[in-house]
């Protein structure tokens, strides 16, 4: 580990100034430090300067606005999962944050850090593998050990989207605010926050080196909205999702007016399933329609050599989570989190 400068910032402007001074490789933002510390220990990241934003109080907290919710990126996953309004009105989001990692990590991990963490592919995470995502030519996962990798939409790199929070936010049509000292603020959608490997294999998200993620905005759900998220892993405690499902239902009596179905562990970037959504829209929520949505979600799935089992798990995760969101089934006691 190389020596580095630790720049402790207490204001947003101070942090932005640090980033704009010399916006080049080697300056890294540190929030909770959960993902960054792992990458530094493995030697994947050797920053010359760490800009610590953890103590910027203006970037922390949950605020209700006329449009919906405004969440500071330094709010912890634990704070989000315990927030009564989020639990009742934005359930998919509190579920997603509350079932990530472990209680200890949720107390340290920030929303911004969770959204911007890098993928967990074991080849990417090892300094011994110089893979596509490190600017080289080979993806080792296609011909290697890929039991936890993507089953659809993977293009040149099948690492799965690591952020559970993003699966919840995508379901709620959330946006994030990115701020640069020079260029000011811009707002991008959750899906647009991420970069597909074929677009740029070495860039995981659109955040520029001089930008900070300064807010997450969630629009107020339409009347009659119910939502839920569930994640399944090999273990129930402290495991990454191998199948997960976010479901938002806009109900009109017994009929589902509109549905959003999101998945994280299926592909390199969080995705919605238009097929699953179409299977629910305009229909009553029943076991039959929920199962049909699950089945439809796997249209186009192309499992790798070792992960066909995930194609069996996702439809079940979606079916159970649709019924959970609709209040027709309890939370699965065997789900992870």
Partner 1 sequence: MATTKLPSSADALLGAAADAAKPPAGMETVTMPYGVPGYTLHDVQRQVPTTEPPVLPVNADLEYIGKSPKRWDAHAKVSGSGRYTADIQLPGMLYAKFVSSNVPHAKVVSIDTSAAEKVPGVKGVFVIENLLGGARLLNPSLEVSKYPIVRYAGQPIAAVAATQPHIAEEAALLVKVQYDAKPFVVDMEMARQSDAPPVFPGPANQGGSAGGGGGARNVPQTGNIHGPAVHKRGDVEQGFKDADFIVESKYTTQVQVHNALETHGVVADWKPDLLTVWASTQGTASVREELASFFKLPKSQVRVITEFMGGGFGAKFGPGNPGVVAAALSKQTGAPVRLMLDRKEEQLSVGNRPSSDQTLKIGAKKDGTLTAIQLISFGTAGCGTGAGCAGPATNLYQSASLHTEENDVFINAGPAAAFRAPGHPQGAFALEQTIDELAEKLNMQPLEFRDKIDTNPVRRVERQIVRESALWKSRNPVPNADRGPIKRGVGLSQSVWYRHIVMDSAAEVRVHRDGSVEVLSAVQDIGTGIKTVMAQILAEQFGVPPQQVSVKIGDTNYPVGPNSGGSVTTASLTPAVRDAAWQAAQKFLVSVAPALGTTPDDLVLTKGEVHSKSGHMQPISFRRAAAKMDTSEVSAQARRIPDYDPKHYDTYGGVDVAEIEVDTEMGIIHVKQFFAVHDCGRPMNPSQVINQINGGLIQGTSFALYENRLIDPTYGLMVNANLDLYKIAGARDIPKLHVQLVESYIAQSSTDASGIGEAAGIISAAAAIGNAFYNATGVRIRSTPMTPSVVLETLSKAPQRSNA
- What's the rounded Cα separation, in Å, for the pair 325 and 59? 31
Least distance from partner 1 to the Cβ atom of residue 66, Å: 40
For 72-108, give one letter per residue: b (16+ CB within 10 A) or e: bbbbbbbbbbebeebeebbbbbbbbbbbbbeeebbeb
Which residue, 90 or 129, is less far from partner 1 as judged by CB? 129
Element (H, E) at 169: helix 164-171
CB 309 to partner 1: min, Å: 4
62: Cβ contacts below 8 Å, ≥ 6 apart: 69, 70, 71, 72, 75, 79, 80, 83, 85, 86
As a whole number of angstroms, the longest Cα–Cα distance in the chain is 61
Site string for partner 1, 306-335 (x = CB under 8 A): xx-x--xx--xx---------------xx-
Binding part of the chain for partner 1, among 138-146, 187-195, 214-222, 263-271 by CB under 8 A, reads 138-146
Mask: binding to partner 1, 209-238, rule CB under 8 A, as x and -? -----------------------x-xxxxx
Distance, in Å, from the CA atom of 133 to the CA atom of 213, rounded to the nearest integer, reads: 22
Closest distance to partner 1 from the beta carbon of 50 (Å): 14
Among positions 144, 155, 224, 274, the unique one binding partner 1 when judged by CB under 8 A: 144
We find the least distance from the C-beta atom of residue 191 to partner 1, in angstroms, to be: 27
Q: Which helix (H) or strand (E) holds 84?
A: helix 84-89
* Contacting positions for partner 1 (CB under 8 A): 1-3, 38, 43, 102, 120, 122-123, 126, 128-129, 140, 143-145, 147-148, 232, 234-240, 242-243, 306-307, 309, 312-313, 316-317, 333-334
């Amino acid at each position: 580990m190389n020596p580095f400068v630790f720049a402790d910032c207490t204001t947003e402007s101070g942090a932005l100034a640090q980033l704009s001074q010399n916006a080049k490789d080697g300056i890294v933002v540190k929030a909770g430090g959960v993902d960054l510390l792992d990458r530094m220990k493995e030697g994947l990241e050797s920053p010359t300067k760490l800009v610590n934003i953890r103590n910027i109080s203006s970037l922390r907290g949950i605020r209700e606005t006329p449009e919906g919710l405004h969440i500071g990126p330094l709010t912890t996953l634990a704070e989000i999962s315990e927030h009564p309004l989020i639990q009742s009105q934005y359930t998919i989001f509190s579920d997603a944050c509350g079932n990530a990692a472990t209680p200890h990590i949720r107390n340290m991990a920030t929303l911004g850090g969770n959204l911007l963490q890098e993928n967990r592919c074991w080849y990417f995470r090892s300094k011994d593998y110089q893979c596509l995502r490190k600017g080289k030519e080979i993806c080792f996962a296609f011909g290697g050990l890929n039991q936890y990798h993507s089953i659809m939409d993977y293009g040149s790199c099948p690492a799965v989207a690591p952020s559970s929070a993003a699966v919840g936010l995508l379901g709620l049509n959330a946006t994030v605010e990115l701020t640069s000292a020079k260029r000011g603020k811009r707002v991008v959608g959750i899906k647009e926050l991420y970069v597909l490997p074929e677009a740029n294999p070495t860039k995981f998200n659109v955040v520029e080196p001089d930008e900070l993620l300064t807010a997450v905005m969630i629009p107020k759900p339409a009347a009659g909205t119910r939502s839920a998220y569930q994640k399944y892993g090999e273990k129930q405690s402290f495991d990454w999702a191998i199948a997960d499902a976010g479901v938002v239902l806009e109900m009109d009596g017994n009929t589902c007016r509109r549905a959003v179905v999101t998945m994280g562990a299926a592909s390199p970037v969080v995705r919605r399933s238009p097929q699953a959504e179409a299977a629910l829209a305009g229909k009553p929520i029943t076991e039959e329609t929920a199962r049909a949505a699950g089945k439809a979600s796997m249209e186009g799935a192309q499992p790798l050599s070792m992960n066909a089992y995930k194609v069996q798990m996702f439809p079940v995760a979606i079916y159970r989570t649709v019924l959970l969101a609709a209040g027709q089934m309890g939370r699965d006691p065997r789900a992870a989190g």
